[in-house]
Amino acid sequence: MPKITRDSLLTLEAYARERTALRTQVIAHKRHRTLALGAHITLLFEDELTMRYQIQEMLRIERIFEAVGIQDELDTYNALVPDGDNWKATMLIEYPDVAQRVYWLTQLRGIEHLVWVRVGSGEPVFAVADEDMIRHNDLKTSAVHFLRFPLTPPLMAALQAGAPLAMGVEHARYVAQADPVPSTLRQALLQDLAV
């Protein structure tokens, strides 16, 4: 999947004009790239469009227009664009009640390493979590994690050939799965692979 470049971004003025239409487009796009695992975990599978929107929003919010600042945003968010042999997702741990959220973030330490994808009847591929940052400590996990699911050429070929796709999480305090994942998500994820 191509990376986002400075030249491909809209200026702040052009983005302001297009923002409403782009936001509508991205919200619709994200619907097909989102998976609930149980009642409290959501995976949002990122791609070039979702990250382009995030970069444009950050540039707008922070009023960044200098080359160095733009490059910092590109470096940060391009890392979340799939590379053709993996999927990248933002994992959200969601408890609306603050006290419940605080409690469960202490109970779910390590959960970010226990999220998996499975192609066909093969072994699960567990996520590589938060590669360039620490998103947890000895007391609790974070409510947001960045996951990468590395896929081998045989797994990608099996997916292209129609093998079923399942996803889940298996933590001692939280177990959930989608088997199979919705067809719209499966189709969107196939587009992220360079097979």
* Cβ atoms within 10 Å, residue 109: 16
Q: Is 36-47+83-195 assigned to CATH 2.50.20?
A: no
Distances (CA, A) of 5 to 13, 18, 61, 113: 18, 19, 19, 31
Q: What is the pLDDT along the chain (195 residues), one digit of tens a residue?
A: 678 988 889 988 999 999 999 999 999 999 999 999 999 999 999 999 999 999 999 999 988 888 888 899 888 888 889 999 999 999 999 999 999 999 999 999 999 999 999 999 999 999 999 766 655 567 889 999 999 999 999 999 999 999 999 999 999 999 999 999 999 999 999 999 986
Comma-separated ranges of CATH 2.60.40 domains in the chain: 36-47+83-195
DSSP 141: B
C-alpha distance across the termini of the chain, in Å: 11
- Answering whether pTM is above 0.85, one says yes
3 state SS of 47? coil
Could you check whether the bond before residue 150 is cis, i.e. omega within 30 degrees of 0? no
DSSP string, 69-136: HHHHHHHHHHTTS--SSEEEEEEEE--SSHHHHHHHHHHTTTGGGSEEEEETTS--EEPEE-TTS--B
